[in-house]
Structure 1
Amino acid sequence: MVDGFSNSNAIPGLILVGAFAVPFSGLVFFFESNAFKDISLFEVIKVFFIGGIFSMVVTLFLYQFVTFSSTSQIFGVLTLKDSLSIGIVEELGKVLIISYFISQLDVHHVLDGILIGAAVGSGFAAFETAGYIYRANTQLVAVAILRGWSAIGGHLVWAAITGGAIMIVKRDHPFKFSQLLDTRFLVFFVLAVLMHAAWDWNITILGSDYLKLILLIGLAWIVVFVLMNAGLKEISHLKQQSHS
């Protein structure tokens, strides 16, 4: 409708669908996968909107302490250093908000952390993508399609990974920021940062940007499934305790 019929009234709908459809659908998957069902749908949606907005605000604040290379500023080409800076800043911004909601909701399970992380990450992804589509001018349909399908393996899953990792070190204890220095968390956090950096870095695999994205999406979901498996083992452990 936007291109074929030159109808500018369709632009808000394109932005809404292109930015929110995939991240929110992925969030529904994580909500349904949380076997404990101890976080209500209302809470999840609240974290999606509030967490998504505030994680972007925190990220924008952290960007004030980052300097990008002249290559990036002049030609728009991200170097490895630039990409790592983006990965660290944006993943750290989301982690701080995820930590807040984990503490506020007082959750105790790995699957809970994955869900909260996915809620913050999907909100971040949706609002960020809305901005990209809005600024795309004549390319807004192409941008909406690309960022739409690739959102299934971006901020949504990177934040789900760090959310689950926080719960691995927190467990039943009250949240403390010192827990973010635990090696078990840092391993997953660094993985998320590296995947994010590789996503943004101006390199291709066999000359294809799409192949790079597909491989990174697959890797991210493998890490998520590892964490979800740990969460399912936690259920079995709790069942054994209840029967003993």
Structure 2
Amino acid sequence: MPGHPGAREACDMITRPDVEKSTTAATRHVWAPRWWLVFPIGLVLWVATVADTFYTNNLILLPTVVLLGSFLVPVTAVVWYLDHDPSPELSPRRIVSAFIFSGVLGALAASVLEFWLVFGPGLFGTLKVGFIEELVKGVLVVLFALGIRSYTTRDGMVLGATVGFGFAALESSGYALASLFVVQGNQLFLSLPSVVLNELVRGLLAPFGHGLWTAILGGVIFHAARNGRLRPTLAILITYVGVSLLHAAFDFFGGIVGYIVISVIGIAPLVYIWLREDRGLPFRRAAHRIQGA
């Protein structure tokens, strides 16, 4: 009843800031389980599945091996972010949606464009793959940024990394399945060791590949925003070319040494951009100086 004292007290409690904060904290806790539990539990499950598959030769377990191995590191990275006080502009719903849909949409778009534009292996083909996939992920960053009111460099890096992780997870799954089939002479064999090796290499390097490159590009895209709107700039174009070249070099050179060298080269600008960010505040310092002059 409206006039009942208990009802009035209940309404006051609902509108109290401390109650709202506790509700928000509880919701955040539900969305973000401890990340350090996600990785070891997933790793144990993946190792157990691999061992079971080797022991029983049960091909039905192969999808589990592929999916666990491909998604373990990307999902852990996303949960880590959700577990560390996420930005109010990047809600859990936006992050999870970006992770899932960017993987599917990115893989579909990149596949069609590469089918049209890439005509063979080699350096030139690898370069085109790098430019195509980074363009697709950059467009997805912009799409999933729709509705954000205040753009910060760090938010752009987080959203970019999320898009990159979603793309990497599905791409790694595809490479793992492709590596399953080994041709020797005129015979086709199924090679589980090739799948496991592919999962180990691509799964562990996920943060230093697609996640890293798209994080850099996303940070620069958000950094260029003015008056609450994204805008094209020369810095975005230069960054896009740079991460595309890193992507192409990563694919072209291959091998553990090549992967490590390219990853280290990519980490340097990532760390620089992250540390350069002014504590997560929007980059409008030049405008403030003009107003205060």
TM-score, structure 2 normalization:
0.69
1:139-177 CA-to-partner distances (Å, cap 9, x unmatched) read: 21111111111212111111111111101111433234x
Structure 2 CA distance, aligned partners of 1:114 and 1:28?
15
Work out which of the residue numbers 192, 213, 219 in structure 2 matches 1:158: 213
CA contact (8 A) 1:59 1:90 kept: yes
1:3 correspondence with 2:49: no
Structure 2 counterpart of 1:97: 140
Larger-Rg structure: 2
The residue aligned with 1:186 is 237
Aligned twin of 2:230: 175
Distance apart, 1:36 and its partner CA: 3.7
1:19 corresponding residue in structure 2: 70
Unaligned runs of at least 5 residues, structure 1: 73-78
1:8, distance to aligned residue in structure 2 (A): 2.3
Tell which has more relative contact order, 1 or 2 (C-alpha 8 A, sep 6+): 1
Contact 1:160 1:224 in 2 (8 A): yes
Matched, 1:231 2:277: yes
**C-alpha displacement at 1:48, in angstroms?**
0.4
1:71-105 Cα deviation digits (max 9, x unpaired): x2xxxxxx221111011000001111111111343
Q: Secondary structure of the residue that 2:205 maps to in structure 1?
A: helix
Measure, in 2, the Cα distance between the counterparts of 1:41 and 1:35: 8
Question: Which of 90, 100, 105 is matched with 1:54 structurally?
Answer: 105
Structure 2, gaps ≥5 residues long:
1-50, 181-190
Q: Which has the higher helix share?
A: 1
CA RMSD of aligned residues (A): 2.6
Aligned to 1:75: none
Query: Residues 50 and 197 from structure 1, CA distance in 2 versus in 1: closer, same or farther, beyond 3 angstroms?
Result: same
Give the letter aligned to residue 198 of structure 2.
V
CA contact (8 A) 1:35 1:111 kept: no
Partner of 2:124: 81
Code of the residue aligned with 1:163 in structure 2: it is G
Residue 131 of structure 1 aligns with an amino acid whose one-letter code is G
Tell me which residue corresponds to 1:120. Answer: 163
Aligned to 1:76: none
Q: Quote how far apart the aligned CAs of 1:197 are.
A: 0.5
Any conservation in 1 of the 2:213–2:266 contact (CA below 8 Å)? yes
Cα shift at 1:56: 1.8
Percent identity (aligned): 25
